[in-house]
Amino acid sequence: MIRIAWNNTTLHASPGDTVAAALYRHGITTIASTRKLHEPMGYSGSYVGGVLARVDGRPNVRLDQQPVREGMRVESQNRWPGASCDLLSLARFLPPRWVHGGFEHGRFTPRRGRAYLLWERLLAHLAGVGRPPPRLPSASERPARKLCVDVLVVGGGPAGQRAANDLARSGRTVALVSRGATLGRYAQAMGIAPAALHGDVTVLSGMELCGSYRCGRLMIAAPVDPERGAVAIEAGRLVLATGKSSMPPMVRNSHLPGVMDAHAAVLLGHFHAVPAGTAVAVVGTGAETMVARRLARLGSGIAYCGDVSGLARIHGHSRVTGIDIGNRRIRCDAVVHAGAWRSDPALAFQARAEGVLQVSDVMAADADISSVGFCHEPDQDIHVPDRMDPALRICPCMDVTAGELMGLIDRAVTDPEILKRLTSCGMGPCQGFPCWESMLALLAKRTGQPVGRLVRPSHRPPRRALTVAQAAGLCDVVEPL
Amino acid sequence: MTDRALPKSASVVIVGGGMQGLSCAVNLALLGIRDIVVLDAGYWQGGASGRNGCLIRPGFGGHEWTRLFELSWREWTTLSRKLGHNVMFTERGYTMIAETGPSADMLRNASRLHREYGITSEILTPRQLSGVLPAINQACVTAALHQPRGGMAPHHSVMKGYLHACRKKGIDVRYRTAMTGFDMHDRSVRGVYVKDHLIRCDTVVIAAGPQSPGLARQAQAEIDGYMMRIEAMALEPMRPLIGPALALIDSLAYFHQTARGEVVGGTEVPETPQENLRADVPAMAAMARVYTRLFPQLADIRILRQWAGLLHISSDLAPLLGQHPRVRDLWFSAGWSYGFAGAPGAGLLMAKAIARGKVDEIMRPFALDRFEKGNPIEEAGVVMIKN
């Protein structure tokens, strides 16, 4: 057994646990809170903000990626005066309109002088989330390395492995990047036997491909472990096998602890023997029956299984206590969603230089990107209820509600780039996925346009996958153009 | 943004709805000019006005820049009142750091110059520096020049303020409305086209950032300079660590911590000028190296996002302000590299010159024909790469 400190208590964890899994096992579902209103958030698989905490003095560590270590000190952030008591959560009682407009709005603020400086300090305290790490006399860069291959495959699931094997057999040099420490973790958790990988494929595991540059010719892989250096990969071709993620349902309280995507719930049950709940509601777009069956085998009790469009509301204050299906109330302690399934568009967006105002040049046409597996299939539409609940959080980490977005859309602000700038939607730790998918679905519904015609805001690298010291190490391996 | 029909005539058409264009428009309206139209091909805040580093300082290294930016800084201090909207300008200070001997000498000279113009500016002792920036690694610093009344303002709130003021003053601002050509008579502009629609006007102002040289060519009015990409990045937010804005003369880096906790900054690397908005790795890596060296506490902080912006860079890095020497009624506020800090002042000067026909002494050195007349502006206090 391993002992870790969570705020002021000591918990026991099993070797191989992530901190998030260990906390969930002990019934601790609230890890973090939203930035402005201090609504509780936890391990969801959707929102990064829900799993950020301070670990041994280092702020904003992702607890779903952090393995437990003996004596580790984990503290929740963004609480005042202390971890056990958060007076800032009184902000929840503020009228929602007061906190519209991101943090950079001038309402109620003194215009200048000393009063403004004091206000700004208060604002910075409220907005800053984590405390800076302790002072060091000096810091060292994490040296990076460079890898040149014919093809880079992103995603270590069965589709990625198959693509890498086929390419390696045809004589290409291939590298495969996988976020997990081992390949195909979700497939394994769903009971699918792993395939053998061709011996010539270079595997970069425990790494996130955090950006594609120069039309998909240069990619940066950032190790999840901040002690390791990044890898700059030059490749002639990019193959995306990144699968799809389940989008949180567009109903009130979908940000609450206990709401999880199918991947998160299945991984928790399979690798950490932690059931998602004793009474779990599983909703989805077709895969819910299969996921519910798997969750039941992994120890969860199933309270409901049905289509996501039937879900009207999630209930709860600090965590999920029930759902409404039509007018029927069902008690449950977790909601697992398995669809709508959508691909993370960031890497393809960056490689193809999509978006508004991307001054085109010759290189953009050269991008050689393809997708395989689930990622290659069309994205599913997100179900948007006819009567939207204004309290639904579209971007929970930044406290952007459907009400705030609808207020702007109804005043003819329908440009996604401007909605982003006026609300800070998607500017938090997830950097736009899944928040912009929900925002665009809402915008499409509200304006009667097909979602595919909307131009998405720019998906910018490296979305907090790379530390400053890891990026500094890249100076020596990537030449300027 | 609007479905109303474009007007058939205007007194002034401003091409470019960024800070320069809107500042010029607001100041023209305040001088009594009516029927001002602003056209912008992109979306609101889509250009450099929504991508810059947000830093503001009054003092530079030479007389011309210092006079212009001191005037602009004074405008900043009253801008919220002028626009009727809080632009959130904060005088958290602006510290320039030298890491070599020659740069330290430059800062000492600059400090003397600043005092000549009545700008509060001082060379900090190591002790004072640790008071202003407790987290800085002083081993890297050879001299620090602090302008306590400089600072920053979030560009979103500033652009909100300008647009708010334009709307209140009846200025017709159109985004996603590209100007497609000029109506020219005898080397003088008489109007602009939006596709087939002609807007007749007395004066055209080009304030289109990187697109300015291209638009100028459409009116057979060559201007100095070229398009260049620069990059910036934001770190994940944390509670306050860095108080003032910072500029590093030798590392060519500038950054600050925003009111919402993100450390935002950028640097430049020698590269072939790029004409696209795609971010690249070397500038991010170079910036990260600066952070690791100067603020070791930032080493394990994560990078949220990086982005690129496009500038129009002139041969001497100084802005081009005034009427074109050979095309009448065609004005420019272009060539900006410190456009965010300079816009409130430049808008005022441009408006006075257009409305009253009198070019201010502060604006005169920035005339477009300074290169052919052999008077480029020398300035050592800008943090910009020279290609």
Over residues B8-53, the pLDDT tens digits come to: 999 999 999 999 999 999 999 999 999 999 999 999 999 999 999 9
The amino acid at residue A291 is: V
Does the pLDDT value for residue B387 go beyond 60?
A: no
- Classify B102 as helix, strand or coil: helix
Task: Give the domain extent around A430.
Answer: 383-463
Q: Does A480 touch chain B (CB under 8 A)?
A: yes
- Tell which residue, B26, B171, B13, has the closest CA to residue B87: B26
CB-closest option in B80, B283, B301 to A468: B301
Residue B25 lies inside a defined structural domain of this protein: yes
Residue B116: Cβ-neighbour burial (10 angstroms; 0-12, 13-18, 19+): exposed
Q: Is A109 on the interface with B (CB under 8 A)?
A: yes
Q: CB-CB: which of B87, B156, B300 is closest to A226?
A: B300
Q: How confident is the model at residue A143 (pLDDT cuts 50, 70, 90)?
A: very high
Nearest to A139 among B278, B284, B292 (CB): B292
The CATH number covering residue B23 comes to 3.50.50.60
What pLDDT is recorded for position A376?
95
- Shared-domain flag, residues B240 and B303: yes
* Nearest by CB: A123 against B236, B259, B292: B259
Structural domain including B201 reads: 9-51+156-225+317-370
Asked if residue B287 and residue B234 are part of one domain, the reply reads yes
Torsion angles phi and psi, residue B158, rounded to 5: -65, -45
Q: State the smallest CA–CA distance between residue A179 and chain B in angstroms.
A: 17
Backbone phi and psi for residue A446, each to the nearest 5 degrees, phi listed first: -70, -30
Name the closest residue on chain B to residue A140, using Cα atoms: B292
Residue A111 has pLDDT above 80, yes or no: no
Q: What's the pLDDT at A367?
A: 76
Instruction: Please state whether the peptide bond connecting residue A385 to the residue before it is cis, i.e. omega within 30 degrees of 0.
Output: no
What pLDDT score does A355 carry?
Answer: 56
For range A250-255, the mean pLDDT: 96
- Residue A20 domain-assigned? yes
- Give how many domains chain A has, as a whole number: 4
Please check whether residue A136 lies inside any domain of the structure. Answer: no
Query: Whole-prediction pTM value?
Result: 0.95
Q: How many CA atoms lie within 13 A of A445 on its CB side?
A: 18
For residues A115-129, average pLDDT:
81
Give yes or no: residues A122 and A30 share one domain: yes
Q: Which residues of B touch A60 (CB under 8 A)?
A: 236, 238, 301-302
Among candidate residues A296, A277, A283, the one with its CA nearest the CA of residue A337: A283
Asked if residue A471 is part of any domain, the answer here is: no
Instruction: State the nearest Cα–Cα gap between B41 and chain A, in angstroms.
Output: 9
**Interchain CB contact of B269 with A (< 8 Å):** yes
- Same domain, yes or no: B44 and B193: yes
Q: Which residues of chain A neighbour B156 with C-beta distances below 8 Å?
A: 102, 104, 421-422
Tens digit of each residue's pLDDT (9 = 90 or more) over A297-308: 999 999 999 999
If asked whether residues A239 and A331 sit together in one domain, one would say no
Nearest neighbour of B276 by CB, restricted to A132, A141, A353 = A353
User: Which residues on chain A are in Cβ contact (under 8 Å) with B306?
Assistant: 460-462
pLDDT on residue B30: 97
Query: What pLDDT is attached to residue A358?
Result: 52
Same domain flag for A229 and A350: yes
CATH label of the domain that carries residue A187: 3.50.50.60
Contacts of A121 in chain B (CB under 8 A): 240
* CATH number where A27 lies: 3.10.20.440
Enumerate residues 118 to 137 of chain B having a beta carbon within 8 A of any beta carbon in chain A: 135, 137
Contact assignment for B86 to A109 by CB distance below 8 Å: yes
Tokens of B387: 């290609």
Residues B167 and B120 in one domain: no
Residue A88: phi and psi, rounded to 5, are -65, -20
Classify burial at A365, counting beta carbons within 10 Å of its beta carbon; exposed 0-12, middle 13-18, buried 19 or more: exposed
Q: Do B305 and A468 touch (CB under 8 A)?
A: no
Q: Is B212 in the same domain as B303?
A: no
Report the CATH number at residue A458: 1.10.10.1100
Q: Name the residue of chain A whose CA is nearest to B153's CA.
A: A104
Residues B14 and B100 in one domain: no
Residues of chain B contacting residue A408, judged by C-beta atoms under 8 Å apart: none
Single residue among A326, A361, A377 that ends a domain in this structure: A377
Q: Which of A59, A422, A468 lies at the smallest CB-CB distance from B291?
A: A468
Residue that is written with structure tokens 């497609």 in the block: B180
Q: Is B260 found in the same domain as B137? A: yes
B322 and B341 share a domain? yes
CA distance B343 to chain A (A): 19
B279-293 pLDDT, tens per residue? 999 999 999 999 999
Q: Is the CB of B154 less than 8 angstroms away from the CB of A104?
A: yes
Same domain, A397 and A449: yes
| Cα–Cα nearest to A226, from A378, A371, A62, A377 | A62
Q: Would you tell me which residues 43-102 of chain B have a C-beta closer than 8 angstroms to some C-beta of chain A?
A: 43-47, 50, 77, 80-81, 85-92
The tens digit of pLDDT for each residue in B136-145 reads 999 999 999 9
For chain B, positions 127-186, list CB contacts with chain A under 8 A: 135, 137, 139, 154, 156-157, 160-161
A366 touches chain B (CB under 8 A): no
**Cα–Cα dist A387/B358, whole Å:** 59
Contacts of A458 in chain B (CB under 8 A): 307
**Same structural domain, A372 and A223:** yes
State whether B235 and A463 contact (CB < 8 Å): no
Would you say residue A469 lies in a domain? Answer: no
If asked whether residues A30 and A123 sit together in one domain, one would say yes
Q: Which of B322, B344, B361, B316 minimizes the C-alpha distance to B216?
A: B322
- A-B interface: how many C-beta pairs under 8 angstroms? 241
Please state, in angstroms and rounded to a whole number, the distance separating the CA atoms of residues A142 and A148. Answer: 20
Domains in chain B, number: 2
**Does A360 lie in the same domain as A317?**
no
Average pLDDT of the segment spanning B356-365: 96
Residue A95 lies in a domain: no
Segment B148-192, tens digit of pLDDT = 999 999 999 999 999 999 999 999 999 999 999 999 999 999 999
Q: Where are the beta strands (DSSP E) in chain B?
A: 9-15, 36-39, 55-56, 94-98, 122-123, 143-147, 151-152, 172-174, 181-184, 189-194, 197-206, 226-235, 245-248, 253-257, 263-267, 302-313, 320-323, 330-334
Q: Cβ of A106 and B43 within 8 Å? A: no
Residue A92 lies in a domain: no
Q: Is residue B339 part of a domain?
A: yes
Regarding whether B243 and B218 lie in a shared domain, the answer is no
pLDDT of residue A125: 81
Does residue A365 carry a pLDDT above 80? no
Identify which of A124, A421, A467 has the shortest CB distance to residue B302.
A467
Structural domain includes residue A207: yes
Q: A450-459, B238-247, B265-274 — which one is most confidently predicted on average? A: B238-247
**Residues of chain A found within 8 Å of residue B287, distances taken between Cβ atoms:** 471
Question: Distance between CA atoms of B324 and A219, rounded to whole angstroms?
Answer: 45
As a whole-number percent, the residues of chain A with pLDDT over 70 amount to 95
Residue B355 lies inside a defined structural domain of this protein: yes
Across the interface, of A135, A472, A480, the residue whose CB is closest to B270 is A480
Measured between beta carbons, the chain B residues lying within 8 angstroms of A232 are 281
Q: From CA B237, how far away is CA A209, in angstroms rounded? A: 22
Res B24: pLDDT = 98
Res A360: pLDDT: 46
Distance from the Cα of A161 to chain B's closest Cα (Å) equals 28
Q: Please count the CA atoms within 13 angstroms of the CA of A80 that sit on its side-chain side.
A: 17
Is B4 an interface residue toward A (CB < 8 Å)? no
Q: What is the pLDDT of residue A58?
A: 93
Question: Chain B partners of A465 at a C-beta cutoff of 8 Å?
Answer: 302
Identity at A239, one-letter amino acid code: V
- Contacting residues of A for B288, CB less than 8 Å apart: 141, 468-472, 474-475
Dist. CA A32–CA B248, nearest whole Å: 36
B63 inside domain: no
B271 and B365 share one domain: no
Q: Across A333-474, where does the E strand assignment appear?
A: 334-338, 341-342, 369-371, 393-395, 400-401, 462-467
Q: Token match 């689930």: residue?
A: A374
Count the helix, strand and coil residues of chain A and give each as a percent rounded to the nearest 5. 30, 25, 45
What residues contact residue B18 under an 8 Å CB cut-off, 6+ apart?
Answer: B40, B47, B48, B49, B207, B208, B209, B339
By DSSP bridging, strand A81-82 and strand A9-13 are unpaired
Q: What is the mean pLDDT of residues A86-113?
A: 76
What are the tens digits of pLDDT across the range B233-265?
A: 999 999 999 999 999 999 999 999 998 899 999
Same domain, yes or no: A181 and A198: yes
Chain A contact for B308 (CB, 8 A cutoff): no
B134 and B255 both lie in a single domain: yes
Asked if A214 lies within 8 A of B280 by C-beta distance, the reply is yes
Tens-place pLDDT, residues A224-234: 999 999 999 99
Phi-psi region of A326 (alpha: psi -120 to 50; beta: other; left: phi over 0): left
Please write the tens of the pLDDT for every residue from B217-230.
999 999 999 988 89
Reading the block at residue A237, the tokens are 């071709």
Same domain, B238 and B270: yes
Are the beta carbons of A112 and B91 separated by less than 8 Å? yes
Listed as own residue / partner, the contacts of B195-201 with beta carbons closer than 8 Å and 24 or more positions apart are B197/B6, B198/B8, B199/B6, B199/B7, B199/B8, B199/B9, B199/B10, B199/B13, B199/B37, B200/B8, B200/B9, B200/B10, B201/B9, B201/B10, B201/B11, B201/B12, B201/B13, B201/B37
Answer yes or no: is pLDDT of A74 > 70. yes
Contact of A139 with chain B, judged by CB distance below 8 Å, is answered with: yes
The answer, yes or no, to whether residue A103 has pLDDT greater than 90, is: no
Q: Do B238 and A59 touch (CB under 8 A)?
A: yes
Residue B1 pLDDT class (50, 70, 90 cuts): very low
Contact list in B for residue A128 (CB cut-off 8 A) is 237-240, 260-261
Query: What CATH number did the domain enclosing B99 receive?
Result: 3.30.9.10
- Is A239 within the bounds of a domain? yes
